[in-house]
Amino acid sequence: MKYEDNMIAISELQPDYLGFIFYKKSLRFFDAHIPEIPKSIKKTGVFVNSSQEEIIEKVIQHDLLAVQLHGSESPEFCSELKDYISTPLNVRVEIIKVFSIKDEFDFTTLKQFEAFVDYFLFDTKGRLPGGNGVTFDWKVLENYPSEKPFFLSGGIGLETIPKLEAFLNSKASKYCYALDINSKFEIAPGLKNVEELTTFKKAIS
């Protein structure tokens, strides 16, 4: 999200999470004020190889309830971030670690992260982190070995609803916790199409 009026309109659809990108190279880079939105919606900061100091600063500034790590953050980084947030700050902030998939993925990579993150997120490997508008082969997730809940991302839009319904009724979706949607519902970077999102929500509810 990037524009205040649009945030308010989208918040009326009651999403579980609302994302704000704090990656300066992104066209969706957010550097403004977040308006008052329902407390049931978790404000989520999206970061790419940011320092722990920068992440903590944004958590405090915007009262974030989740952080999404889109870079090459290590398990040690996630562990230290989790400890810092939960101890000195004494707040419950979810940590979502992102992994990009093309045609295959080495799921053994996840094991070392499991103790330090709340969720994994799988999106499509592209030129830039996130928002590439392309799906990966969701059948890859049939080999998912963990019980850690995950977000499904990458190119999800109105045209993928039949494919999405098939996935959600398959064994591969057993631990699918949430859908992360973005570029397929954009009028411009960071500006979402409320009508299309309303249609999408009704279709998958």
Q: What is the pLDDT of residues 151-160, one digit of tens each?
A: 999 999 999 9
Band of residue 22 on the pLDDT scale cut at 50, 70, 90 = very high
Domains in the chain with CATH codes: 4-204 (3.20.20.70)
Q: What is the pTM of this model?
A: 0.94
Contacts within 8 Å (CB) and 24+ apart, 112-118: 112/75, 113/75, 113/78, 114/146, 114/148, 115/79, 116/75, 116/78, 116/79, 116/82, 117/78, 117/82, 117/148, 118/66, 118/94, 118/149
Q: What is the pLDDT of residues 140-195, one digit of tens each?
A: 999 999 999 999 999 999 999 999 999 999 999 999 999 999 999 999 999 999 99
